[in-house]
């Protein structure tokens, strides 16, 4: 806070101006304001040149048009149409109607200065039955989106799977069957073949941890199953296997020079106190708590602790599976919303996870506990433990009880506070050399928030779902400033 005080105010508060920093950022800010009418950030808050600023969405959450142009049914169509599964019975039938309004949306992206946009492809638009004959109108839609983005100087980042599995595959066992992993690779290769002349970055799966644990173990997301541990572990194995086979298929079918990664919501472990013992504990936790997903992908093996912990319920796998799972990737995408606080512990693991007290602050979604330090520690640990050299924050954002005023504003001060504090931690890492190359805010606009329906808004743009009118929230103005100055605003 010191940089907010003038020397005189400093002296008043602290009894002397002697300790006040000689060049006060607050004064230089005022000078900059006077000079060019805009507030420049203190130099230390700038990101490196070329840092990419983006925003993200996912097919089922924004597209709507679920019957258009030969799209097949996905498990989210089925699930959301099953009574009692989503808040208010909401479905993605119309969502943001982005399928028809993508040009208008891309103009809004351009208006806020977005440099990159992460979207996902709906598998059932490409292969309505999951496998078999591709539907040319499906790939055509994404091809037009990519062209429109490029025409507006926005780099497309493409996710192959953001949870909308073709229902036809679920009917044959879905992720319980390894055939789904193979079908995914086939589909990923096809999309890469058609888009890689214009898309440079592909992500295989979005958040394996979420769709496996919540969809197949807890039953709160599609397909709504509550499988026993051994089966959940096998589903998890098929997810990482799909990622690995997908990486291979993308490389085999894409133009050379493209980059492949994934977008995982790894547990972002942070030390509760930044002392060597707690930092060491958090580093161990980072590896073990992600053993079923990111660790398996980056090491091509399950940790001993993971296999021992699951015992007879551990997944069944072959060496060839593990080799595929560990296929080299070019970057790691991290979706980050919360942090997992870790402390050192005397037990065999050497660490303990601290469960949140009831008073812990959260955003509108009760799971969304505020923990900006995860954006510092998670990428740092990933770079240190596995030598990863290219990391993106593929999602970060917050739900808020946004209210549109009668004169058309949304003053989402809580979202701005959230974003600013997370970006401050990200900046801390980047300025120490943690190789985060870009950041995608979730989400570009309010959308279908899965089981929570439309009531939980994550957008930088407010969407009136009756009229489809988009309104930039105050946070969109904030983010636009961040992008324009390549630093915190
Ligand atoms: C991401 O998930 C998703 O990638 C994105 O699609 C989503 O819109 C966004 O975040 C915001 O949620 O109902 O108690 O079981 C973030 C991780 C996993 C957090 C699912 C919420 C459900 C909590 N999410 N989880 S609960």
Q: What is the CATH number of the domain that holds 232?
A: 3.20.20.80
User: Would you say 215 and 221 are in contact if contact means Cβ atoms under 8 Å apart?
Assistant: yes
- Cα-to-centroid distance, 120 and ligand 1 (Å): 16
- Do 118 and 7 lie in one domain? The reply is no
Range of the domain at 478: 45-488
Q: How many structural domains are present in the chain?
A: 2
Residue 455, Cα to own-chain centre: how many angstroms? 20
- Residues 267, 384, single domain; the answer is yes
Based on the domain organization, do 184 and 332 belong to the same domain? yes
The Cα–Cα gap between 90 and 13 comes to 54
Same domain membership, residue 11 and residue 115? no
> Helix H segments across 222-349?
229-253, 276-289, 294-299, 304-310, 319-325
Shared-domain flag, residues 3 and 107 = no
Domain identity same for 124 and 265: yes
CB 266 within 8 A of CB 209: yes
Do residue 27 and residue 164 come from a single domain? no
pLDDT in tens, 223-256: 999 999 999 999 999 999 999 999 999 999 999 9
Work out which ligand 1 atom sits closest to the CA atom of 397.
11
Would you write out the chain's pLDDT as a tens digit for each of its 489 residues?
Answer: 333 444 454 344 444 444 444 333 433 444 444 445 565 555 558 999 999 999 999 999 999 999 999 999 999 999 999 999 999 999 999 999 999 999 999 999 999 999 999 999 999 999 999 999 999 999 999 999 999 999 999 999 999 999 999 999 999 999 999 999 999 999 999 999 999 999 999 999 999 999 999 999 999 999 999 999 999 999 999 999 999 999 999 999 999 999 999 999 999 999 999 999 999 999 999 999 999 999 999 999 999 999 999 999 999 999 999 999 999 999 999 999 999 999 999 999 999 999 999 999 999 999 999 999 999 999 999 999 999 999 999 999 999 999 999 999 999 999 999 999 999 999 999 999 999 999 999 999 999 999 999 999 999 999 999 999 999 999 999 999 999 999 998
Query: Cβ(395) to ligand 1 under 6 A?
Result: yes
Do residues 435 and 357 both lie within one domain?
A: yes
Q: Quick one: 14 and 157 in the same domain?
A: no
Same domain, 36 and 154: no
Spacing, Cα 210 to ligand 1 middle (Å):
7
Where in the sequence numbering do the catalytic residues fall? 207, 395
C-alpha 162 – ligand 1 centre gap (Å):
11
- Same-domain pairing of 29 and 160: no
Beta strands 201-206 and 269-271, pairing class = unpaired
Regarding the beta carbon of 449 and ligand 1, being less than 6 Å apart is answered yes
Asked whether the beta carbons of 440 and 394 are under 8 A apart, the reply is yes
pTM of the model: 0.92
Pair 28, 55 in one domain: no
């Amino acid at each position: 806070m010191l940089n907010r005080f003038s020397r005189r105010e400093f002296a008043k508060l602290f009894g002397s101006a002697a300790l006040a920093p000689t060049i006060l950022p607050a004064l230089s800010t005022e000078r900059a304001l006077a000079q060019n009418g805009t507030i420049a950030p203190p130099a230390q808050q700038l990101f490196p040149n070329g840092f990419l600023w983006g925003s993200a969405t996912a097919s089922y959450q924004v597209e709507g048009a679920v019957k258009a142009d030969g799209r097949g049914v996905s498990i989210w169509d089925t699930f959301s149409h099953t009574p009692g599964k989503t808040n208010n019975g909401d479905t993605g039938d119309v969502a943001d109607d982005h399928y028809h309004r993508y040009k208008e949306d891309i103009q809004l992206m351009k208006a806020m200065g977005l440099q990159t946009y992460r979207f996902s492809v709906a598998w059932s638009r490409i292969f309505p039955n999951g496998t078999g004959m591709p539907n040319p109108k499906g790939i055509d839609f994404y091809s037009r989106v990519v062209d429109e983005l490029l025409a507006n100087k926005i780099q497309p980042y493409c996710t192959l799977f953001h949870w909308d599995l073709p229902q036809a595959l679920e009917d044959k066992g879905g992720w319980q069957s390894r055939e789904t992993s193979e079908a995914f690779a086939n589909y990923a290769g096809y999309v890469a073949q058609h888009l890689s002349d214009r898309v440079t970055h592909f992500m295989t799966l979005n958040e394996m941890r979420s769709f496996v644990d919540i969809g197949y173990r807890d039953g709160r997301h599609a397909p709504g199953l509550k499988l026993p541990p051994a089966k959940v572990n096998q589903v998890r194995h098929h997810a990482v296997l799909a990622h690995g086979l997908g990486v291979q298929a993308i490389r085999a079918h894409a133009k050379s020079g493209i980059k492949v990664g994934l977008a995982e919501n790894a547990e972002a472990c942070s030390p509760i106190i930044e002392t060597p013992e707690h930092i060491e504990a958090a580093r161990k936790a980072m590896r073990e708590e992600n053993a079923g997903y990111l660790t398996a992908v980056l090491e091509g093996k399950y940790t001993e602790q993971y296999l021992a912990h699951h015992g007879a319920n551990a997944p069944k796998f072959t060496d060839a599976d593990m080799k595929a799972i560990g296929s080299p990737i070019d970057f790691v995408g991290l979706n980050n919303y919360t942090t997992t606080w870790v402390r050192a512990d005397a037990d065999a693991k050497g660490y303990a996870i601290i469960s949140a007290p009831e008073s812990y602050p959260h955003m509108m979604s009760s799971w969304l506990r505020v923990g900006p330090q995860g954006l510092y520690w998670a990428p740092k640990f990933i770079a240190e433990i596995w030598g990863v050299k290219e990391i993106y924050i593929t999602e970060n954002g917050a739900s808020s009880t946004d209210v549109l005023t009668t004169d058309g504003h949304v003053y989402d001060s809580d979202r701005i506070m959230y974003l600013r504090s997370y970006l401050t931690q990200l900046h801390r890492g980047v300025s120490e050399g943690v190789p985060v190359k870009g950041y995608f805010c979730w989400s570009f606009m309010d959308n279908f928030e899965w089981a929570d329906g439309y009531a939980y808004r994550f957008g930088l743009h407010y969407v009136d779902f009756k009229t489809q009118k988009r309104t930039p929230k105050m946070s969109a103005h904030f983010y636009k400033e961040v992008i324009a100055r390549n630093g915190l605003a």
